[in-house]
Structure 1
């Protein structure tokens, strides 16, 4: 749903800059959990009804979901979110239909009814034009985690802070920093993102527990010694040292 390839250049620059700086003590981030959780496969079709507490925005500036007043996360494609944002406001009631993953507070919606209007996730007749690159800005945030945010498959893909920022974290990094993804955990991040009328969203490139302790969520490949080249097999008529090989004697009759 998120068009994160648009962030590639910005993230590469941010990660390279972070790696070049002195890293703080590894103790700044709690140790990772012993093993990543198994992917959830028990998705089932259902519906939820609730009151919109806030919109969810990805770092491209797209509305890609809402949070209900019972903390249920309703995810949707950005095309559907754009249509919904023009018709829905905080405090409005909606009914969302789609797939729920296990018992997580997450519904991936393909149909939403609000104010007597139903919106459905309908593929466009023709591929849409490539979107313009968002005006990403370097951003920092810190605070207490209000609740985790999930990707469509049920993996933790970020958090919502108590001060309102939406943090998007690549799922592998979210697994490694599992303790920081839990409610009431203290977290500090750096990254790139946008401010929109629907909220502030940051694609995280470095995280820690307090400002100044952030570490990159991923490191680029480090240069190392090149593997030795295999020896070139000798060519006919050339000795290994590069000099012409001696010509074998011709037997005399």
Structure 2
């Protein structure tokens, strides 16, 4: 978003309570005060992680899509006065390379605390009560909205990536779980 002047955008201030990872293990956002999702592009992840920690108070200037409660960060103002600005990806031929990450097949069960969205407001997954984020392509997430809504109890299967910043399950199957069928293995492909 290098073409947008951050000074003209609204500010949102809060305390970073959790980082969010994409399925490649790269930080691509965080939560403010446990409920406001802030998205930043993966090319900013390394810079953000060097300067922002859980517990820090930050001020974000960004764009808020009409359809979702996510802020696509254009700038992040840190408590020490430093400002991280999204100038867009590098254009000198040294583009953003995906890190090689180890994943492992697993299943998780939990209650959805928050639906997760992409920077344009597209539904992309959910955050569970144990801190695990579930991620899937937006077309699959749209078809499975009921499973990704706050309060839904779900069981999901897929490939997990974990690092010092968090854990994300790239969902291959998901099922609603009720108390009556807590032992059921019925799943729906993502």
- TM bucket (normalised to shorter chain) is 0.7 to 0.9
| Partner Cα distance (1:50, 1:66) in 2 | 11
Deviation track 1:222-252 (CA, whole Å, cap 9, x = no partner) reads xxxxxxxxxxxxxxxxxxxxxxxxxxxxxxx
Aligned to 2:112: 145
| Partner Cα distance (2:67, 2:13) in 1 | 16
Task: Map 1:163-242 to 2 at 5 A.
Answer: 163-210=130-177, 212-217=185-190
Is it true that 1:116 corresponds to 2:89 in the alignment? no
Could you tell me which runs of 5 or more consecutive residues in structure 1 were left unpaired when the two chains were aligned: 1-43, 218-253
Larger radius of gyration: 1
Is it true that 1:56 corresponds to 2:20 in the alignment? yes
Deviation track 1:178-208 (CA, whole Å, cap 9, x = no partner) reads 2111111011111112111111101101111
Aligned length: 174
Give me the TM-score of the superposition, normalised by structure 2. 0.84
Aligned to 1:92: 56
Query: Following TM superposition, where does structure 1 have runs of at least 4 consecutive aligned residues deviating by more than 4 angstroms?
Result: none
Aligned to 1:227: none
Deviation track 1:91-137 (CA, whole Å, cap 9, x = no partner) reads 11101112111273211012111131111112324232633432222
From the two aligned structures, give the one with the greater strand fraction: 2
RMSD (Å) for aligned C-alpha atoms:
1.8
| Partner Cα distance (1:111, 1:71) in 2 | 19
Q: 1:155 aligns with which of 112, 122, 147?
A: 122
Partners of 1:193 and 1:201 within 8 A in 2:
yes
Partners of 1:71 and 1:105 within 8 A in 2:
no
Give me the TM-score of the superposition, normalised by structure 1. 0.64
